[in-house]
Amino acid sequence: MNHHRSKAKRAFFSGSIRRQLAWSFGSVALIIMVGLAGLLYDRQRNFLYSAALQQSKSLTMSLASSSTSWVLANDIAGLKEVLQGFVGLPDIERAYVLSLSGEVLSSTRLGEAGLFVTDAQSQKLLSSPPTTQVLLANTHQIDVATPVMAGQRHVGWARIEMTMNGVNANLRSVVVMGINFIVFAALTVWIAAILLARRLTRRLHYLMRVAAEVEGGNLEVRAYLSGDDEVGILAQEFNQMLDALSNSERQRERINQLYAAWTESADIIVRESDEIKLLNQVCRIIANHVAFKLVWVGMTDPDDWVRKVASSHSDSAYLRNIKVSADETLPEGRGPMGMTIREGVPKIFNNFLDESNTLPWQPAAAAENINAAAAFPLMRDGRCIGAIAVYSDEQNYFTPDLIALMRGLTDDLSYALDNFDREKRRLKAEHELRIAAAAFESQESILVTDANNNILRVNKSFTALTGYSANEVIGKPTGILKSGRHDSEFYTAMWASINHNKYWQGEIWNKRKNGEIYPEWLCITAISNPEGLITNYVGTFTDISQRKADEQRIRDLAYYDSLTKLPNRTLLFERLDLALNASHRNKTHGALMFLDLDNFKTLNDTLGHDRGDQLLIEVGQRLQNCVRDVDTVARLGGDEFVIMLEFLDEQEIEAAIQAHAVAEKIRSNLAEFYLLKNNLDRVGSLGNRSMRCSTSCIPAVVPTATLLTSTDGGNTEDCREQSRPPSLAVDRVGSLPTATLPPSLAVDNKHQPSIEHYSTGSIGFVLFMGHETSSEELLKRADLAMYQAKRAGRNVIRAFAPEMQEALNLRAALEIDLRNALDRNELSLHYQVQVDASGQPVGAEALLRWNQAERGMISPAEFIPLAEETGLILPIGQWILRQGCKTLVDWTHYPETCELKLAVNISSRQLNQPDFVEQVRTILLESGANPTLLKLEITESVILDNVEDTIAKMHAVRDLGVSFSMDDFGTGYSSLSYLQKLPLAQLKIDQSFVKNMTVNNHDSAIIRTILALGKNLDLNIIAEGVETEIQREHLTNDGCLAFQGYLFGKPVPAEQFKQSLLGEADRKIIL
């Protein structure tokens, strides 16, 4: 072995010098690099471990300093706020504050507060003297504790546990860099040794000297070797490693500086009571410790411009030359300060002079050598009210660690601002309480309660107003004063306002000791303690009974007519404005009527103003009895009245019809006689009686009559005569006669007789909806319509809108024509065949048709509803029933038709007639028709009113042999319980279901349900409106056995219907 080793040595040293130099120099260089790397690693490790330990001590000292006042006050929430600033700091595993007994007062770890430390190190700490203690310091963890001192008094321990993860990571990066450096250096040396041995040796010695300086602690030294060869590259790598170490050291130094600024600021926050002074001091502390170019605090004005409230340099040229806004639409609002205030989050500009958002400030910043800026929000009551801005002369100055620390510091400032607000509120409440105490014995009634509304104190005015002495109410709840007139919602809203605003005032009804309920004006103020908790309530109140009475009298004078007590013009217009708003929201019409009494001046001139006033009062009462509670009757003055109707129909024509009906009702009631006496004190009972209004038409001309009655205590003497006395002069205006009293009756004396007077009124109305027309314009239009009524002959109703009047005229003309239709033989019956499943005719339905001489054929949809409304359906219905019975008699003469049943429609108004059964019996007897062939069709709506009476009548008609069919079944509101009671023989499926049954599963299901219902109730079913073969097939498959519709035949006149069946007994209706 030794022989081979010595042989190798000889071969090496006796070989090429180049090889010897290369290997020798390379080996030496490698050893040097390894030694240098090891030296750097050892130095860096010691430095990092020492720096980490020093940082831990600084942090615990900062924590101890910030926690002193909170530990003394035992304010756990304050400690939590302090520790919150340590959350998220690099390498901190846990930070907490211990009492001297070992209790965890607060910790960054959740759930530890309130626990006691029991480990050996903690127990040793608790018995240690009050100096900074290093409990643990190894390559994995550092555990440092610093005493919390209040002056010379030891009150607890601030303790921080830090991991060495960051340090170890830095060391690992140093190792990696060292290895890379060694590998690269070795390769470089070995390759370059042959050609550059001497130069390489000289450069390596230089690097060794640089490394020695680094070892001596000079991290600012650099290896200045030029060239792109391996040694030059090695020097560059070496310098980069030194740059990284230097940056790391500077960053850690800045963090420590900012920690120191935070610690000093926390002390100022605790002691300073002036907000502006606090902000200025914090700005100066930050600038002094961290060497920022500038630190300032800005807050927004109402116009969104940011004003400076504090700064580190009061004479800063930069602040003098710039404008900042929080309005994002302005260029001045797009910088760090404006963006932070708007968004409530920090904004960082590490290259301030290169950002497009900072153009407005770049000239001033360049002049001050500002290259980086950051802004952090200041919050007050959860809202961003400003920001603190910091500036540096270095680009990329703000690292995540520095940003996190600045956020913690500004969070403390925000907490301080909230404290200032809380203190202001407390001082204000105390001030108000002092004022209340000073004014306690004022003329106003005052009571003070605790937080539970138990009375603590009252003044003399309280006793005078309520009747309760102090001894009677102290200790009792304020509920003893409640009147019971307010519901729970009132008190809920009142206390919600008190709890939110700390104040409430308003009108309230309370009760005196004697039970009297009275109104008072009450003010309640909540008194809070320094912590913001309500401790007392102070109530001051005055009796406002007289004021309420005065207000009511003033209101009556302002809004009501003194004679009739009806609303006057002012109140009318207020209600009209409300009605216009309501009609706009509800999309319903309203109507405004203008009524003027006919010949009222003649009454005043002949009978005197007393009787004229009596008439006006009576007219007002009658008008009120003719309208609903929601409507308004007002007197404008003289003999002019206005009636406002609300919530009429959505359709204009229907609303006009409704308004016209009310006007007819008013005209009818006003036409009844009035009993007028000789003065207002003797108004007869007619003035107060309840009017029963009639909607029937009254003659266009109302004769005037006068009833003279004795008022001297004797029997009433009827002085009316069948003929007009010669002394009664009659003067006609238009078609309306007016009476003039004989001179003997116009004398005013105590025996003046009572007068039975007749009066009429002319009415004009206009519809309204929404705000299309003003209130004044509406009244003008109604007035214009009234004058049209006057010109038409008085005692007339006119609508303003020509198209509405035309519609009313058309409807009236249609009604007149319908009344004459029977006399003119314009009505006729058409018959539509009904068939069974095989297509054989089994009956027919009689359908009414109207062929008016001038209008031609008129749709039943137009005139049948009119007949129902006017009552004309009664004579028309009798005519239809009589004609149908005659048709049945005629059919008995032919084999093809003798067994057909005839269906005749009966309206609800017919069925509601008391003698309906007798009418049917009479018509059957007179016509000789077979009752078993007659079928009366009714709709579901027939049974909605007077159910029991309707059922009794139907049973009586069925006893005559007549059957009943339910028409349009399924479209109304039939109750199955009533359906069982009705003597029905047939249900008729409505054509709306048949029409869509092939495309709508719901309609098809309804049809099957009706068929099943008919089967269970033993009723025949017929389907109407069958128009296609597909519909008939579907119905047949579902079990329907009878049909009616255009598929089998249209409604035709009686003779045509009969002829279509005669001679075709062997031929089915459908093919």
Q: Is 351:336 a contact under the CB 8 Å cutoff? A: no
Hey, which of 12-21, 103-112, 561-570 has the most confident mean pLDDT? 561-570
Whether residues 1038 and 971 share a domain: the answer is yes
CA distance 366 to 261: 27
With 90 as the cut, is the pLDDT of residue 832 above it? yes
- Residue 693: predicted pLDDT: 32
Residue-level pLDDT at 189: 67
Burial of 954: CB neighbours in 10 Å, binned 0-12, 13-18, 19+? buried
Last residue of a domain, one of 423, 449, 480: 423
217, pLDDT greater than 80 = no
- Region of poorest pLDDT, from 744-753, 924-933, 949-958: 744-753
Domain count of the fold of the chain: 5
Residue 1071: what pLDDT? Answer: 32
- Check pLDDT > 80 for residue 778: yes
Mean pLDDT along residues 874-887 = 96
| pTM, entire model | 0.37
**For 397-436, how does the pLDDT look when each residue is reduced to its tens digit (9 = 90+)?**
888 888 888 888 888 888 888 888 888 888 887 787 777 6
The CA dihedral of 580, 583, 589, 592, to the nearest 10 degrees, is: -20
For residue 34, the model assigns a pLDDT of: 81
Categorize the per-residue pLDDT at 1020 as very low, low, confident or very high, splitting at 50, 70 and 90: very high
Q: Is the pLDDT of residue 735 over 80?
A: no
What's the pLDDT at 80?
A: 85
Would residue 225 count as lying in a domain? no
3-class state of residue 500 by DSSP:
helix
How far is Cα 36 from Cα 983, in angstroms, rounded to an integer? 119
User: Which of 215, 237, 266 is where one domain is finished?
Assistant: 215
- Final residue belonging to a domain, choices 767, 800, 833: 800
Q: How confident is the model at residue 937 (pLDDT cuts 50, 70, 90)?
A: very high
Question: What is the structure's pLDDT at 285?
Answer: 83
Choice between 38 and 127, residue whose per-residue pLDDT is larger = 127
pLDDT band at 836 (very low <50, low <70, confident <90, very high): very high
What is the average per-residue pLDDT within 335-358?
89
Is 349 within the bounds of a domain?
yes
Query: Domain for residue 258, yes or no?
Result: no
Q: Are residues 871 and 1016 in the same domain?
A: yes
CATH number of the domain that 117 lies in?
Answer: 3.30.450.20
What was the pLDDT predicted at 590? 96
Q: In the structure encoding, which two tokens stand for residue 291, read together?
A: 């060497």
Shared domain check, 927 and 1044: yes
Residue 1003 CB partners (closer than 8 Å, separation 6+): 992, 993, 994, 995, 996, 997
Angular region, 515: left φ>0, alpha ψ -120 to 50, beta rest: left
Lowest mean pLDDT among 47-61, 280-294, 375-389, 964-978: 964-978
Band of pLDDT at residue 919, cut at 50, 70 and 90: very high
d(CA 873, CA 815): 12
Report residue 200's pLDDT band, with 50, 70 and 90 as the boundaries: low
For residues 276 and 418, give the distance between their C-alpha atoms in angstroms, rounded to a whole number.
Answer: 14
Q: What is the pLDDT of residue 409?
A: 82
Confidence at residue 549, expressed as pLDDT on a 0 to 100 scale:
84
90 plus 141 within the same structural domain: yes
The pLDDT value recorded for residue 33 is 77
DSSP states of 771-821? TSS-HHHHHHHHHHHHHHHHHTTSS-EEESSHHHHHHHHHHHHHHHHHHHH
Q: Are 299 and 276 in contact (CB under 8 A)?
A: no
| Mean pLDDT score, 825-849 | 95
The answer as to whether 744 is a domain residue is yes
Q: Residue 1 falls within a domain, yes or no?
A: no
Structure confidence at residue 594 (pLDDT) = 97
pLDDT of residue 201: 59
Structure tokens, 1047: 């598929």
**Which residues does 129 contact at the CB level (< 8 Å), separation at least 6?**
none
CA distance readout (Å), 61 to 159, 363, 403, 518 = 9, 42, 21, 68
Note whether 630 and 763 are same-domain residues. yes
- For residue 495, pLDDT over 60 is answered with yes
What's the confidence (pLDDT) of residue 687?
Answer: 36
Nearest to 503 by CA among 495, 515, 511, 493: 495
The CATH code of the domain that includes 319 is 3.30.450.40
Residue 303: which of 340, 284, 329, 285 has the closest Cα?
Answer: 329
- The whole-number pLDDT of residue 876 equals 96
Q: What is the mean pLDDT of residues 23-51?
A: 79
pLDDT for res 1029: 94
Does residue 443 register a pLDDT over 80?
A: no
Look at 87 and 622; give whichever has higher pLDDT.
Answer: 622
Res. 972 pLDDT band, cuts 50 70 90:
low
Within a domain: 355? yes
Same domain, 546 and 566: no
Q: What per-residue confidence (pLDDT) applies to 532?
A: 85
Claim to verify: residue 916 and residue 1039 sit in the same structural domain = yes
Identity of the amino acid at 168:
N
Rounded percentage of the chain residues whose pLDDT exceeds 90? 37
Q: What is the pLDDT of residues 631-646, one digit of tens each?
A: 999 999 999 999 999 9
Residue 357 lies in a domain: yes
3-state helix, strand, coil in the chain (%, to 5): 50, 20, 30
C-alpha dihedral sign at 436, 438, 443, 449: positive
Encoded tokens for 954: 């139907």
Indicate whether 738 and 853 sit together in one domain: no
pLDDT of residue 595: 97
- Per-residue pLDDT at 1066 exceeds 50: no
Judge whether residue 805 has pLDDT over 70. Answer: no
Is residue 1013 in a domain?
A: yes
Is the confidence at residue 713, as pLDDT, over 70?
no
> If DSSP states are collapsed to H, E and C, what string results for 918-948?
HHHHHHHHHHCCCHHHEEEEEEHHHHCCCHH
Please check whether residues 791 and 838 belong to one and the same domain.
Answer: no
Same domain, 33 and 158: yes
Q: Which domain holds residue 198?
A: 17-215
Lowest mean pLDDT among 7-16, 674-683, 745-754: 745-754
Per-residue pLDDT for 830 more than 70?
A: yes
Per-residue pLDDT at 1030 exceeds 90? yes
Report pLDDT for 290: 80
User: 848: domain CATH number?
Assistant: 3.20.20.450
Average confidence score pLDDT of the chain: 82
Instruction: State both tokens at 599.
Output: 């010949």
Task: Say yes or no: 409 and 456 in one domain.
Answer: no
The model's confidence at residue 303, banded by pLDDT at 50, 70 and 90, is confident
Band of pLDDT at residue 5, cut at 50, 70 and 90: low
Could you identify the residue written with the tokens 């035309």?
806
Are residue 945 and residue 866 in the same domain, yes or no?
yes
Contact 608, 671 (CB under 8 A): no
